[in-house]
Amino acid sequence: MIVVRRAEAQDAGGLVRLAAAVGREPGEWLLTTETWRSAADERRYLKAVRRHEDAAVFVAFDEDDSRVVGRLSLARDPHPASAHVADLGLMVAASYRRQGIGRSLLARAVTWAEASGVRKLELHVFPWNEPAIRLYESFGFEHEGVRRGHYSRDGADVDALLMAYHLPSGSGSPPSRAP
């Protein structure tokens, strides 16, 4: 059974293994082709995120296999003029794709956004990652543009598609931030 929940420090090793596996795939889905951060660094990161109201990491956890099979990271834009926007990153293990896990993680992102006063979720996706683009489009993300040569990957500048999901008007409450 797959459970979507907030990431905990003990998920660090599983998250590192997931990122390494996805990073090695021939589809070139991730920015980095090198190693992900260490399990110790991931554990520190997860502990810091849990104390920070403007960011969150969620996992899809396979209780039958006791392993992390998906990850969703969210972070609110720190600038006061765009504090209603959060950036997200998503990955799902290859053998678990097309089973609704990505959609469940995106639904959890919307729930987090509503509770956090976020009105817009945005992401970057490589133009060749057609399966992810189809998932985002089917969920309601819209294409907002192309960022030409936005990332350097393996020594080459590559484009990124900018996609966004606008929460319905009135979702969430405004962020409680001092000016």
Instruction: For 118-176, give the secondary structure using H, E and C.
Output: CCEEEEEECCCCHHHHHHHHHHCCEEEEEEEEEEEECCEEEEEEEEEEECCCCCCCCCC
Strands 120-125 and 85-92: parallel
For the question of whether the overall pTM of this predicted structure is more than 0.85, the answer is yes
Model pLDDT, residue 22: 87
Rounded-to-integer distance, Cα 104 and Cα 167, Å: 16
pLDDT tens digit at each of 179 positions of the chain? 999 999 999 999 999 999 988 887 776 656 555 566 889 999 999 999 998 889 999 999 999 999 999 999 999 999 999 999 999 999 999 999 999 999 999 999 999 999 999 999 999 999 999 999 999 999 999 999 999 988 877 788 888 999 999 998 755 444 444 33
Per-residue three-class SS string for 95-125: HHCCCCHHHHHHHHHHHHHHHHCCCEEEEEE
Per CATH, domain 2-166 is 3.40.50.150:
no
H or E element that contains 36 = none
User: Do residues 106 and 90 make contact, with C-beta atoms less than 8 angstroms apart?
Assistant: yes
Model pLDDT, residue 20: 87
Contacts of 31 (CB under 8 A, 6+ apart): 151, 153
Q: How many CB atoms lie within 10 A of CB 152?
A: 10
Nearest Cα to Cα of residue 72 among 84, 56, 83, 86: 56
Tokens coding 8: 């905990």
Rounded-to-integer distance, Cα 175 and Cα 130, Å: 34
